[in-house]
Amino acid sequence: MIHSLFLVNASGDIFLEKHWKSVVSRSVCDYFFEAQERATEPENVPPVIPTPHHYLISVLRHRIYFVAVIQSEVPPLFVIEFLHRVVDTFQDYFGVCTEAAIKDNVVVVYELLEEMLDNGFPLATESNILKELIKPPTILRTMVNTITGSTNVGEQLPTGQLSVVPWRRTGVKYTNNEAYFDVVEEIDAIIDKSGSTITAEIQGVIDACVKLTGMPDLTLSFMNPRLLDDVSFHPCVRFKRWEAERILSFIPPDGNFRLLSYHVSSQNLVAIPVYVKHNITFREGSSQGRFDLTLGPKQTMGKAVESVLVSSQLPRGVLNANLNPSQGTYTFDPVTKMLSWDVGKINPQKLPSLKGTMSLQAGASKPDENPTINIQFKIQQMAISGLKVNRLDMYGEKYKPFKGIKYMTKAGKFQVRT
């Protein structure tokens, strides 16, 4: 199972280590550093690295490498999923998952890691149970602890671990009972030069924030459940009921959790909410290139496209760009050649555009590569797949909760080739 964990920052320093069995020397990370040096970009470090006696499995999150050391055959996905859980827990506890936050809370970090694995076996990875065991730091408590040298170890033992619904605390009480669900869809797409869709798919999630007293039993139904043919559920969802009736039935964890994630594949017709008209050209023998980009909405069911951000890695030969945005602001980094244009909201009556020239090195040949345009955007009150919740019911408790559903669509990896 998982032997040790090292946290490595972007400059290649180990700033935290934790061992669940015997101690593994830091020098094992030398193999990781070698791979890190070879990688052209930080994200290109291979996730599984063999060393003579160990394997290093790592994930890169928030510019920190979480490097797990294993000694025997352990499923790599098991390790990666666990590392994700560690990242989520840190974020949950400290608000951000940064080197500074981890260093500031080093005692809590060790306590958490100690509870999450026992001898390398996962022990308590549910946020609910962990919070019972170890209190999240607050400013006040940190101050008190510094003065008195006291710790955050809870005086309670995790009763939830004994329960048949290990994801839910017992004895939950609220004065305001509320259940909110966010349907968030990310659209991944590749659009070719001519504007036709090469591939488009949707990754959707339903995130919930449930603050309900007692042991509520919820059911959630959809107007069009047939959209959901590829789903992953939180363990609380009763799978049989879904199979039979296409209804989500569950006793929710307390607080924030992801109820469900789903995938609408490229085989279904996926609506593309924006289009791009572009003309990026270089002429042989000229040290100037033309840049012309216009954005417009389509298939948005009348909803506004907001928070639009366009970025593109221009060819290496480009020295500078002299452009004129019709709205928003743009920046061009002459070192990384990254062009980004913060567009804001698209007004369908007056389409945003970015036009101008790019200057090339004098005498350099015409660049070979065609830049790809990356687009980020958000559309409120709409799930692009068309998914709609029908109703939410609660059983098992007598009070009437507040209920709310929100929809949002964002761009995931949305790329336009030129």
DSSP 21: S
Residue 150 near another protein by CB under 8 A: yes
Residue 334 near another protein by CB under 8 A: no
Whose Cβ is closer to another protein: residue 304's or residue 364's? 364
Tabulate helix, strand, coil % of the chain (nearest 5): 20, 45, 35
Residue 37 near another protein by CB under 8 A: no
Give me the 382-411 binding string for another protein, x by CB under 8 A, dash otherwise. ------------------------------
Residue 73 near another protein by CB under 8 A: yes
In Å, what is the CA distance from 168 to each residue of 38, 208, 236, 369, 383?
45, 14, 9, 53, 29
Residues 75-104 close enough to bind another protein by CB under 8 A: 75-78, 80-82, 84
Instruction: Find, among 416, 293, 313, the residue nearest to 367 by Cα.
Output: 313
Q: Are 382 and 407 in contact (CB under 8 A)?
A: yes
Contact with another protein (CB under 8 A): which of 25, 161, 322, 331? Answer: 161
> What's the first-to-final CA gap in the chain, in angstroms?
47
Residue 153 near another protein by CB under 8 A: yes
Residue 113 near another protein by CB under 8 A: no
Instruction: List all residues 6 or more positions away from 39 whose beta carbon is below 8 Å from its beta carbon.
Output: 45, 46
Distance CA 378, CA 186 (A): 9
Q: Are 85 and 79 in contact (CB under 8 A)?
A: no
DSSP 193-249: TTS-EEEEEEEEEEEEEEE-SS--EEEEEES-GGG-SSEEE-TTB-HHHHHHH-EEE
Residues 239-258 close enough to bind another protein by CB under 8 A: 239-240, 243, 258
Contact region with another protein (CB under 8 A), list: 159-167, 271-279, 291-299, 375-383: 159-167
Distance CA 378, CA 302 (A): 13
CB of residue 4 vs another protein: minimum separation in angstroms? Answer: 14
CB of residue 324 vs another protein: minimum separation in angstroms? Answer: 26
CB of residue 91 vs another protein: minimum separation in angstroms? Answer: 14
Residue 267 near another protein by CB under 8 A: yes
Residues 356-385 close enough to bind another protein by CB under 8 A: 368-370, 372, 374
CB of residue 351 vs another protein: minimum separation in angstroms? Answer: 25
Instruction: Find, among 303, 333, 330, the residue nearest to 318 by Cα.
Output: 333
CB of residue 177 vs another protein: minimum separation in angstroms? Answer: 26
Instruction: Find, among 233, 232, 229, the residue nearest to 267 by Cα.
Output: 229
Residues 293-332 close enough to bind another protein by CB under 8 A: 316
Size of the site for another protein (CB under 8 A): 84
Contact region with another protein (CB under 8 A), list: 88-96, 224-232, 248-256, 288-296: 224-232
β partners of residue 183: 206, 407
Residues 117-136 close enough to bind another protein by CB under 8 A: 118-119, 121-122, 125
Residue 284 near another protein by CB under 8 A: no
Contact region with another protein (CB under 8 A), list: 88-96, 185-193, 210-218, 301-309: 185-193
CB of residue 304 vs another protein: minimum separation in angstroms? Answer: 26
Residue 417 near another protein by CB under 8 A: yes
- The four Cα atoms 208, 251, 89, 409 give a dihedral, to 10 degrees, of -20
